[in-house]
Structures are given as C-alpha cells and as structure tokens.
Structure 1
C-alpha cells in the first residue's frame, strides 16, 4: 500500500478496533452509512444510493447553520473488505453538477474530487486510509478535512456499538 503523502491531496489514516469487513460494511451498508456519513450536528439523506462498481449516489448533507449541500457521485471501484473508490461532485437537488462557488463554497474548491478508501488488517484491527483529490490545506480551510475527521469518529462510535 502506498503511504506517501502529497500536499495535493487529503490524507487521513485511522485505526479501527474492528475487522476490515466490519469497517467496509460501515461504508457499504446504507443503514449504517446514514448513521455516520455527515459531520457533527448534520444529517445525511440519500435520494439515490447504489453501492456497487458503476453505481451512483445522490446525497444531501443538511447543516442547521449553512443549509443543504447536495452531492452526486459514482462508485468507480469496490473491492469487498479492501477498497472503495468514488467521485464526489457538487450538485443541486435534481442531481445536476454545479460550480461550488455558485453555492457559496470556496472558489478554489474543485467541482469534482475522487475519494479512495483502503482497508488493511493489522493485528486484529483495521488500518483505513482515505485520500481525496483536493489540497489538504484547502480542505482544512473549508471545513472538509475536519468534517471527515468528525464523520470517521462517528463511524468508530457506530462500530463500537455493533
């Protein structure tokens, strides 16, 4: 597995006290995904969710302070228990791609990013690595990076309960 970190991407590594299969399931079971795939204080709703290679999603994260943030994407690669690759595209409620700046986001934020999540077993636990094709500095400035950290902490809580 490639561990090199680039300034041109978000990179997060987290160890979960659960098997790769359980961590992978948190990403691919719609009932589990809706419980953690939004930052603290927000909720996520999926208008469409087909989790398979070539499958698509249309989601909305509702933030009480900033309103709704719609997103569409496609699952480019799914390897059970090992890897998930998907696009994230800023969109409107009807699933049409939109320029992030038009909805008040940082004008430097790309309209589309690619997220790659890998899972590896280590001593009975799972090392999960998440990469997103956007500068980590920009992701920290816009709140996307702390949002990922909050969501992954929420996923840990969910895993601890099951």
Structure 2
C-alpha cells in the first residue's frame, strides 16, 4: 500500500478472528457497526466473498443518505481487503487480524488513490475510523458476549441526550428504574468519575434494598459506567457483584442503547440471570421510554 496516503487505526478487541469474520458475514451485525457514530445503514446487496459486492445506503445523523458500494478483493482468516471504487472517495482498505490469546488485534489501513482527496479528508477520517471500531467493539460485545457478561440492547425512540438524562437525573430515575412490583423510593447521584451512586429500592413486602456504587466513566450522552465494587471514596465494597457499562448512540432522534453487565464470577452471572436480567431490563426500558415521551 502507498504509505503516504494511508490512514491506520488499531484496536485490541475482545473477540476472536472468527467472531470478527462473523461480524462481516452477518448482514444484520454488519449494518449495526459499519460507518461512523450516528450513522445507520440499509444493505441492498451483500456477498462476502472475493469479488463480492456490498451495496448500501448510509444515513447520517441529519438524515442525509449516502449511497455506497464496496468490492471485497481478498478474504482470509487474518486479512480482509476491500475497495471503495467510486470517486471522489476511492480507496483500498486492509483489515489485519492478529490473534492474541482469545482476543484480536485489529489493524485497519485505508489508502486513498488521490493525494488531494487524502488531504481533504484527513481532518475527519481518522476520527471516523476510531468511531467505526468503537461501534464494532459494541456489536461484538452484543453478539458474542464474554463468559461473565450479560447484554441488553434496544433502539429507543428518543434522543441520546434524553436517555442519558433519565439515567443521571435523580427525580427521573426513581420513576422508571425498577420493574413492578418493586419500586425505587430515593436516589442520590453524583455523576462524575468517583462520584457516589445510591438507589434505595423497595420490594412488594415493604423490605428496603440499597443499591450503592460509584461511577467509573462519564461521557455525557454517550457512555456511563458504574460499579458496586467500590463505595464512595474508592473504598472497596465487601462483595462486588457487577459493573454496568451503558452506551448511548444518537441516531438522528433515536438512540441505540446497549447495556453490558460485567460480573466477577459465573455464580454472580447466573444469579443475575435468574433474577430476571433480560425481562427486568426490558420492562425498565419500556418505563424509561414512556417517561421520556
């Protein structure tokens, strides 16, 4: 490849090369991550084989439709090459997959044919490619979760800003957080890395159940990570149970909402599953969406 006109991005992904291949092969998974943040894709033609064609419309956050066509040139276990042959954005992309003990180092190289076009897009393409890898990582987590992970995902008919606020506003979270017959009776949310998160839930028999932890990462309207492994002041909790990784992607007024519950042990994961993780999160998300509307 012609190095002077190449963008290169690398990422270690929690997936095998085979799973990453499946993220290319499955058109539903592919449509969920192909493109920068905020884009959605409709695939019209797809043949994941050498000389096969991928034809799709990509919809930007402002509603603009961008027709795209790609041709796969080479497909191997550790290398995928495809071209975007249409001017002005004609380029060749090479995906290298290096196995790393159950994970994969993915390196994406994108080489443009026209040096002038390369200069023109250099202000935004590297960031867009990082966003693409972010989206791929989330799709892999959804479809091939780790052995200690539970995953819930939904397209919510509301902007990401409002969904994020429903998680971070104490007056809002008490109205939707807990599936009936349980309810949340109070909330204290210090939304910053290291800040305390405390929810008091109440069962149908009146018994109170505290839910305490801290925030690890806060990216407004994009990501919210919390854990019960610590109490306020970074004091370790007696028995850590779960880390909750929430991701919000705005799709032009809708939100791709992905929640990953990461556990310390298989026993904790099974306990969470038997508590009704998927049905509980589904009901709570219904309540969240209704509240926002």
**TM-score in terms of structure 1 length:** 0.77
After superposition, the C-alpha distances for 1:63-93 in whole angstroms (9 at most, x for unaligned) are 11483221210011110110000013699xx
Q: Supply the distance in 1 between the matched residues of 2:208 and 2:162 (Cα, whole angstroms).
A: 30
Instruction: Return the match for 1:29 from 137, 151, 169.
Output: 169
Backbone CA RMSD of aligned residues: 2.5
Contact 2:170-2:188 within 8 A present in 1 as well: no
Q: Name the structure, 1 or 2, with higher relative contact order (CA <8 Å, separation 6+).
A: 1
- Structure 2: 5+ residue stretches without partners: 1-134
8 Å contact kept, 1:72–1:89? no
How many Å separate the matches in 1 of 2:210 and 2:273? 20
Secondary structure of the equivalent of 1:148? helix
Give me the whole-angstrom Cα distance separating, in 2, the residues matched to 1:124 and 1:79: 18
Asked which structure has the greater CA Rg, the reply is 2
User: Does residue 272 of structure 2 align to residue 132 of structure 1?
Assistant: no
1:34-49 to 2 correspondences below 5 Å: 34-46=174-186, 48-49=188-189
Aligned residues of 2:174 and 2:187 also touching (Cα < 8 A): no
- Equivalenced residue count is 145
CA shift for structure 1 position 44: 1.0
Name structure 1 gaps, 5 residues minimum.
Answer: 100-110
Q: Which of 278, 288, 291 lines up with 1:145 in the alignment? A: 278
- Displacement, 1:55? 0.8
CA shift in 2, pair 1:35/1:41, >3 Å = same
Aligned with 1:6 (options 131, 146, 169) = 146
